[in-house]
Structure formats: structure tokens, C-alpha cells
Structure 1
Amino acid sequence: MSNFAEQSEAMKAGEVPPSATRDSLERRVFRICTVVIATCAATYVVWMLIDLLLLLFACALVSLILLTLTHALRRRCNLPFAIALGLVVLAIIGLLGAAVTFFGATIQGEFAELANRLPDAWASVQQRMQMSPLGAAVLLKAQELAPSGQAIVNLATTALAAVGGALSGLAIVLVGGLYLAAQPTLYSIGLLRMIPARARGPAAETLDAVAISLRNWLKGQALGMLFVGVATGTGLWFVGVPAAWAIGLVAGLAEFVPYAGIFLAAIPAVVLGFGQGTSTGLWTMGVLIAVQQLQGNLVMPVLQNRMVDLPPAITIFGIIASGILFGVPGVLLATPLTIVVLVLIRRLYLHEDKQEVLASGDNPPGWSSGAA
């Protein structure tokens, strides 16, 4: 009885019995350890499946493109969803087939001319550089850093393997995107059912904000790619650079990764330009700089004000971070991934509502001008 009495007195005094304290502490420690271990295990599984998740994200982007075009067609023609989606897919296939049929031979000739002229142009640039001490020193250093024959073979093998993997991944992305677009309600409801009922409403608004932001970005990016490709090809053709339209095509397609297209096009363009002569080379550099300035200071700001506003600094650091974490696929998907992260931050951390997140880039509520 003495023990019960002591326990009663201890409880009246607000004390917890040692055995109860020990049991409660053990339970809490067990629960904390379980949560920590489960979190670490889930993080490890996600990291091991990161390539699959990036592939799924790319499929979602393709699906978003198809659904955007399908809904636009339905609004104009009042067609059933399945018929509208089929017409969109057939139209895309038809446009690609027409492009290959009518422009394939021309583009092939352009790339063949580009491949034939680059060695001679590079030799001409080397001769010009040899005329100055600084140029000769640069060439000597470049020759010292040049890879060996075996290194070039290994690099070519790796590149071919990467191209094969990229083509197979592209096929999976296109087919997967089509499947997602064919039954969007099925997958969206399935995703929402994985979320607890009490959080389902806010989660649905967040997903809507992500989808609308990505759709707006895709619209603006498509127009920006078109501008870069046409402007680069036209400008280089006007100053007399060979294979101008092939370079413009590369620049336009590569502009899917912001700021990358113009730099990928700059190397062959500058080499071919200076191969034609110093004045042509200088004009080539002027065209590339002009296109980049117009794209960055006129075209994209106008598009961003109507689509989605993504600050250049955040875009650049997003590309770098995605490249470090996920490699080449991360670089290709860096900008849409950055948009998703920004929307999640604004919704979950800053607690902005859907309308605030989707507000115009001129004056987003709660953010300074130019913020995403």
C-alpha cells in the first residue's frame, strides 16, 4: 500500500511516476526513430528513382501541351474530347511530316554544308591567329589540351550511347505523354486520392496553380524559341554566313533551355563567319548579340508579363542546380522544375492563394517587381 500511496501523492503533486515517464519516453523515442528511418528510406528510394521521376515529369509536360491544344480546339469547334485529341495528334504528326518532306532535304544540305565548311573555316581562323603572338600562344595551349585519339574514340562512344538513350527516352516521353493526355481525369483523381481528405482542397488548388504556370511558360517558351530560330537564321543569312538556317534551327530548338540556344549556335556561326572573312565574322557576332539582347530585353519580358514571370537570376541558378543534381536531364527540365518549386514555395511556405500565385508579373501580390 505504501507504494500506491506514494504514487498517489506524487500524482497529486503533479509528478509522473518514473515507470510511466520511462514508458512514455520510450514510446516517443520509438516513434521518432521510426519516422526518421522511414523518411530516410523514402528519400533514398526517391533518389534512386530520380531518373524515372524526371521521365514522368517530361511525360506530364508533353501531356500538358497536348491538353492545351486539345482544349483550344474544343472551345473553337465544340468537338468531343477524344476526337479533338486525335485531331491534335494527327495535326502534329502531319506538321512534322510536312516539315521533313518540304524542308528535310534543304536542312540536310545545310548541315552537310556546315560539316564541310567547318574544317576549312577553322583552318582559316588558325592561320589568322598564327599571325599574332597572342593567337599563336592560344593555339599552342589549345593543342596541349587537345584529347588523344583514344580519348576521342571513348568520347564518341559515350556520345553515341547517350544519343541512343536520349532517343529511347524521347519515345517513352511522347508515348507516355499521349497516354496521360488521353485519360487526364483518371490520373488526376488517382493523384488526389493519395492525399488525405482534409488536405485535398488546398492540394488541388496547388496542383492547378502548377499546371497553369507550366502551361503559360510553355506558351511563352514556344514563341521565344520561334523568335530565336527565325531571327538567328535570317540574320546570319543576311550577313552571308553559310548554313545559316541550320544554325538558326539549332539555336531555336536549344532555346528550350533558356540562354543555351544562342551559345550553342555561336560556336559554329562564329567559326564560319570568320572563315568567310574578318568583317563577316564581326557581323556574325553582332547578329548573335543583337538576337540575344532582343530576346532577353524585349521579347521575353513582353511574353513573361502575359505568361509567367521567371527572373533571369533564378532561371540561371535553377539550371546550374538541376545540372549538378540530375545531370543532362536536369538541365533540359531545369526551367519547368524551377517553376514548380517556386509555385510550391509560394503556396506552402508563403501561404499565398491561387490567384496571388497566378498574378501578372508586373505586380505579383507580396512580391517585388520581376519576381516569379
Structure 2
Amino acid sequence: MRTTTLEFAKRAAILVALIPLPFLVWYLRYFLLVLVGALLVAMLLQLASEPFVRWCRLSEGLALAFAGIVILLVIATGGYLFGTQLASELQDVLSRADSAAKTIADELQRSQLGRITLSHLKGGSFSVTDILENLTKVSARLLEAVIFTVASGVYIASQPALYRRGTAQLFPLSQRRLVEETIDDIGRGLRLWLLGQAIQMCLIGTFSAIAVWLIGLPSPLALGAIAGLAEFIPYLGPVIASIPAILVAMTSGFYPALWTIVAYVIIHQIEGNVIVPMVQRRLVFIPPAVLLLSIVVVTEIFGAIGIIFAAPITVIIFVAIKKLYVRASLGQDTELPGEEAG
């Protein structure tokens, strides 16, 4: 048996060595991103299934099925009620933002400094529509990745013990218990982080939609949705979300743009000083500098798409280091996410 396993390992190593290095690197990056996405899908399903297990006394399998149905119904209902309006508002936001960007480019062309700035930009102009057109070029590959991610997440959520045990078997027998505990700790950390992000996304999206509606900007639903979704990217997301809102406001005049800037600054001050500390104190706290540096590193490794997964990847590495290095290797006491609640 050992000989057969050794021969198989040798043949596998030879096959890997024959694969071109750029393709191997691309495949590993793709696999890791899909894996992280699948873990997030599994955590989302488990979060949605917990009320059915706790309050309805259903089995885990049946609770997961109900959770999946509820998530699909929520998405379908939201699409039916707001899909047409949201799509129309997003198109309006895109059109207005692109118009404002072109106006800014024309104004910059009138000064020497502005022309120097524009000379460093592709084509010498801003175009929001061009950016979206470039994004849609990878839509087929993105759809493929989403299908693989969701399917893998469903399988992991339905049989977590199987995949935990299978991963632990890749390590020596003496380390398997520690590996399984670490996987459980990482899963708990991701689940708590995802819950915290969902709370922040809902609050910021709602606050932003109300704020731009009070200011009188068009398409408040779309701008609120953009702000809520951008919250998934820590620190950089709010900046990204404010750009289309400010561009849309500029098409309505100076004062709407000024009030929009003030509103977004106030919202994100509330977020940074009230919402985030309150959520992180109860769920998962990662030092801001660590998270910012990880965003830079992950984006450098995985490209622009990696910024979406920078935070969950940081949670995984952060929990693993605290568990395996600080606690297991150094023997120091350190708190892991959810231990007090558990």
C-alpha cells in the first residue's frame, strides 16, 4: 500500500512539473478564490439555517434545505418587487455619473495641471460606461466561477464533518485533532464576520438611500444598493460607493453635491465610530492596519477581483495564526472569535 501511494505521489509530482508555471499559478489562484467563496456560501447557509434548528427543531439537513429555499425566495421577491426599478435606477446612475465624469474631464482640460493629470489616464478621459463594458467581457468566466462557488458551498454546508475530516487526514495523526479544531475555529470566525458584514451592509445601505432621498437626488434605491454592496470591501468600499453618488449629485448642481459629500462623511463617521466598534466587539475584531495591509497583499496576489475576498481571507489567516502559532506553538492565551459565546 505504501509503495502504491508513493508511486502515485511520484507520478502526480511529475504531472505537476510538466504543467506550465503560469497556468499552474493561475489555477491555484482561481482555486483559492473559489474555495473562499464556497466557504462564505456555506457559512451563509448555516447562518440562515440556525433559526430553523434552534426554534423549529428541524434536523440540520432539513434546516439547510429550508434556508436555501428562503434565500431563493427573498432574492426572487426582491427581484420581482424592485428589480425593474433598481435596474432602471442603476442605468440612470451610470448615465449621470458618466456625464459628470466627462464634464470633469472637460474642466481639467482647461488648465495645465489638469491636462497633465489627464495625460496619465488612458485616452485622456473618464468613462464609467467603458469600465462596465470591460467588466462585462469576463461575464462568462465570472458566471462559471459563481456556479462552481455556489455548488461547492452547498456541498460543504450539507456535509461539513466530511470535508473537515478529509482535510485533517492530510496531516499526521498526532496533528489531526488540532487541525479539526482549527477548521472549526475558522468556520466560526467566518460565520461571525459574515453576520457582522450583513448588519453593516444593511445599515449603511439604508442610511445612504435615505440620505440621498432627503437631498433630492435621483435613483436613491440604486445608490443605497451600491453603498450597501460596497460595504463588503472594508475601508475602501465606502470610498468607492461615494464616487457615483457624488457624480450623480454634480449633475443636479453644486449644493446637492456638497450635501452629498457631507452626508456620506457623516454616515461613515457613524459607521466607523459607532456601528463597526459595536459589531466587532461582539463578533470579530481585526486590527485596521492588519486589514488594510492584507487588502494590498491579496489584491497584489489575486488581482482586482481579490479585493472582494481580502477580508474573509484575512479572517481565515488571522484565526489560524492565533490558534496554531500564538496558542498552540507559543502557549500564550489568546481569544478566538466566538469562544465566549460558544
Query: Shorter-chain TM-score: which interval?
Result: 0.7 to 0.9
Q: Is 1:277 aligned to residue 277 of structure 2?
A: no
Q: Are the aligned partners of 1:209 and 1:357 in contact in 2 as well (CA < 8 Å)? A: no
Deviation at 1:57, TM superposition (A): 2.1
Distance in 1, Cα, partners of 2:53 & 2:319: 28
Distance in 2, Cα, partners of 1:332 & 1:176: 18
Residues 243, 135 of structure 1: alpha-carbon distance in 2 compared, 3 angstrom cutoff: farther
Query: What does residue 68 of structure 1 align with?
Result: 47
Aligned mate of 1:94, from 73, 79, 92: 73
Q: Is 1:320 aligned to residue 299 of structure 2?
A: no
Deviation at 1:257, TM superposition (A): 1.1
Aligned mate of 1:192, from 165, 168, 179: 168
Structure 2 counterpart SS, 1:242: coil
Letter in 2 for 1:167: L
Query: What does residue 149 of structure 2 align with?
Result: 173
Aligned mate of 1:57, from 22, 36, 51: 36
Structure 2 counterpart SS, 1:356: coil
Q: Are the aligned partners of 2:201 and 2:232 in contact in 1 as well (CA < 8 Å)? A: yes
Deviation at 1:83, TM superposition (A): 1.7
Q: Deviations over 1:75-105 (max 9, x none)?
A: 1101122221111111000000000000012
Distance in 2, Cα, partners of 1:116 & 1:305: 41
Aligned mate of 2:320, from 335, 341, 344: 344
Deviation at 1:295, TM superposition (A): 1.2
Deviation at 1:209, TM superposition (A): 1.4
Letter in 2 for 1:268: P
Distance in 1, Cα, partners of 2:312 & 2:118: 39
Query: What does residue 83 of structure 1 align with?
Result: 62
Structure 1: gaps of 5 or more residues = 1-36, 364-372
Letter in 2 for 1:74: V
Aligned mate of 1:204, from 157, 168, 180: 180
Tell me the number of residue pairs that the alignment of Structure 1 and Structure 2 aligns: 319
Letter in 2 for 1:230: T
| Deviating more after overlay: 269-278 vs 97-106 | 269-278
Q: Deviations over 1:260-296 (max 9, x none)?
A: 3322222221122122121111100001111111111
Letter in 1 for 2:94: A
Q: Is 1:356 aligned to residue 331 of structure 2?
A: no
Letter in 2 for 1:314: V
Query: What does residue 144 of structure 1 align with?
Result: 119
Q: Are the aligned partners of 2:215 and 2:259 in contact in 1 as well (CA < 8 Å)? A: yes
Deviation at 1:321, TM superposition (A): 0.5
Residues 101, 265 of structure 1: alpha-carbon distance in 2 compared, 3 angstrom cutoff: same
Q: Deviations over 1:131-174 (max 9, x none)?
A: xxx9744543354345349xx99977753332332222112111
Residues 223, 104 of structure 1: alpha-carbon distance in 2 compared, 3 angstrom cutoff: same
Query: What does residue 330 of structure 1 align with?
Result: 306
Deviation at 1:322, TM superposition (A): 0.3
Deviation at 1:46, TM superposition (A): 7.3
Structure 1 counterpart SS, 2:150: helix
Q: Which structure ranks higher in relative contact order (CA pairs < 8 Å, sequence separation ≥ 6)?
A: 2
Q: Is 1:264 aligned to residue 218 of structure 2?
A: no
Residues 60, 354 of structure 1: alpha-carbon distance in 2 compared, 3 angstrom cutoff: farther
Q: Are the aligned partners of 1:124 and 1:275 in contact in 2 as well (CA < 8 Å)? A: no
Q: Deviations over 1:3-51 (max 9, x none)?
A: xxxxxxxxxxxxxxxxxxxxxxxxxxxxxxxxxx99x97xx76785232
Distance in 1, Cα, partners of 2:233 & 2:110: 32
Deviation at 1:52, TM superposition (A): 1.0
Q: Is 1:309 aligned to residue 309 of structure 2?
A: no
| Deviating more after overlay: 284-293 vs 49-58 | 49-58
Structure 1 counterpart SS, 2:234: coil
Q: Are the aligned partners of 2:192 and 2:337 in contact in 1 as well (CA < 8 Å)? A: no
Distance in 2, Cα, partners of 1:53 & 1:122: 36
Distance in 2, Cα, partners of 1:123 & 1:60: 41
Deviation at 1:359, TM superposition (A): 5.9
Q: Are the aligned partners of 2:36 and 2:312 in contact in 1 as well (CA < 8 Å)? A: no
Distance in 2, Cα, partners of 1:161 & 1:205: 42
Q: Are the aligned partners of 1:305 and 1:360 in contact in 2 as well (CA < 8 Å)? A: no
Distance in 2, Cα, partners of 1:285 & 1:119: 18
Residues 145, 46 of structure 1: alpha-carbon distance in 2 compared, 3 angstrom cutoff: closer
Distance in 1, Cα, partners of 2:46 & 2:333: 22
Q: Are the aligned partners of 2:192 and 2:338 in contact in 1 as well (CA < 8 Å)? A: no
Q: Are the aligned partners of 2:53 and 2:59 in contact in 1 as well (CA < 8 Å)? A: yes
Aligned mate of 2:88, from 109, 119, 139: 109
Q: Are the aligned partners of 2:38 and 2:152 in contact in 1 as well (CA < 8 Å)? A: yes
| Deviating more after overlay: 256-265 vs 301-310 | 256-265
Q: Is 1:163 aligned to residue 142 of structure 2?
A: no
Residues 148, 119 of structure 1: alpha-carbon distance in 2 compared, 3 angstrom cutoff: closer
Query: What does residue 4 of structure 2 align with?
Result: none
| Cα root mean square deviation, aligned | 3.2
Residues 360, 210 of structure 1: alpha-carbon distance in 2 compared, 3 angstrom cutoff: closer
Q: Are the aligned partners of 1:82 and 1:182 in contact in 2 as well (CA < 8 Å)? A: yes
Q: Are the aligned partners of 1:205 and 1:354 in contact in 2 as well (CA < 8 Å)? A: no
Q: Are the aligned partners of 1:250 and 1:261 in contact in 2 as well (CA < 8 Å)? A: no
